[in-house]
Amino acid sequence: MKRHLISAADLSREEAVLVLDTAAELAGVSARPIRKLPTLRGRTVVNLFYEDSTRTRTSFEAAAKRLSADVINFSARGSSVAKGESLKDTALTLEAMGADAIVVRHGASGAPHRLAGWVTGSVINAGDGTHEHPTQALLDAFTIRQRLGSPDHGASGRRGAGLDGVRATIVGDVLHSRVARSGVLLLSTLGADVTLVAPPTLIPFGVGGWPCKISYDLDAELPKSDVVMMLRVQQERMTAAYFPTVREYRRRYGLDAGRMSLLPDHAIVMHPGPMNRGVEIAAEVADSPRSTIVEQVSNGVIVRMAVLYLMLGGVEGNS
């Protein structure tokens, strides 16, 4: 495993499959009477969060604790950041406290990349601006492999398998979505065919270079999808009028029960959370048996355990 995990593109297919296989073995730990392993005893993981987060931060925290690492949680609010301390100074302070890994979420795209140049420990990107969120992509890939793993479908849930032939459709606010960018990169690395569906205003510039297809018509793509990944409409990042009204967005790109019936029988519906129920996804879809939203959260812990183990469990500074 590499020293840092900044982008889903950092992972080769072999490394990504190793993370999924490791996670598959770690899944058994959650079912045991003692849900803890001694592997990272004496290591310190810092959660450095400049943006609000529920599931990612708690999931990294739970993952590190299950591996017996010490966890320091740092959120920008109520810290010296409020007094104007820079990212670099904050990072150097945390490193002086002995952080072996820094899990960072930051509103600015590229912040984890800068951070990796300043510290000697590992840096794990937990979401930077509209850039990337690689562990979310890994847990999505893990969930897909688990759910579509039966022999009837293209992907095999067995060890060593990728996602070859899986047709994944990512729908919604691609422009602001770090989940979409990491998802496209990782799923295509693993062999899936990825299609992005969004209003033209929410497709980022330069998307032609991404390893995926683009469509503007959700109804045409649904019958050809094994996986539909709905993205949150990120109103907090929207500085312009990207679509006329929420109602119009919902009518054209929202997933309701009627649209869900267009999917093949085995297809699954994913959402990285937090959901805007009634906007990009209807409540009855989110709560249906096809939805993997709750599984994605529990898989998040074991996939992050796998990432922490592979990055910190071996020789210090291995490549």
The footprint of other proteins (CB under 8 A) covers 1, 18, 21-22, 25-26, 28, 32-34, 36-39, 309-316, 318
Whichever of 39 and 215 has its CB closer to other proteins, that residue is: 39
Whichever of 198 and 310 has its CB closer to other proteins, that residue is: 310
Asked if 267 and 227 count as a contact pair (C-beta separation under 8 A), the reply is yes
Whichever of 31 and 96 has its CB closer to other proteins, that residue is: 31
Least distance between other proteins and beta carbon 139 (Å) = 17
**Look-up of token digits 């980022």:** 204
Least distance between other proteins and beta carbon 23 (Å) = 9
DSSP string of 124-190, one letter each residue: EEEEETTTB-HHHHHHHHHHHHHHT-STTSSS--STT---TT-EEEEES--TT-HHHHHHHHHHHHT
Sheet bearing 122-128, strands edge to edge: 70-75, 44-49, 101-106, 122-128
Least distance between other proteins and beta carbon 8 (Å) = 19
Whichever of 166 and 312 has its CB closer to other proteins, that residue is: 312
Least distance between other proteins and beta carbon 107 (Å) = 31
Least distance between other proteins and beta carbon 39 (Å) = 4
Least distance between other proteins and beta carbon 210 (Å) = 30
Whichever of 33 and 151 has its CB closer to other proteins, that residue is: 33
* Angle of CA points 41, 45, 47, to nearest 5°: 150
Report the alpha-carbon distance of residue 280 to residue 193 in Å, rounded. Answer: 22
Going along the chain, which residue ranges are E strands? 44-49, 70-75, 101-106, 122-128, 167-171, 193-197, 213-215, 227-230, 268-270
Least distance between other proteins and beta carbon 37 (Å) = 4
Q: Counting every residue, how long is the chain?
A: 319
Least distance between other proteins and beta carbon 316 (Å) = 7
Report helix, strand or coil for 311.
helix
Whichever of 191 and 313 has its CB closer to other proteins, that residue is: 313
Asked if 131 and 210 count as a contact pair (C-beta separation under 8 A), the reply is no
Output the six-digit token pair for 154.
């293209």
Helix (H) or strand (E) holding 57: helix 55-66
Whichever of 39 and 58 has its CB closer to other proteins, that residue is: 39
Whichever of 38 and 151 has its CB closer to other proteins, that residue is: 38
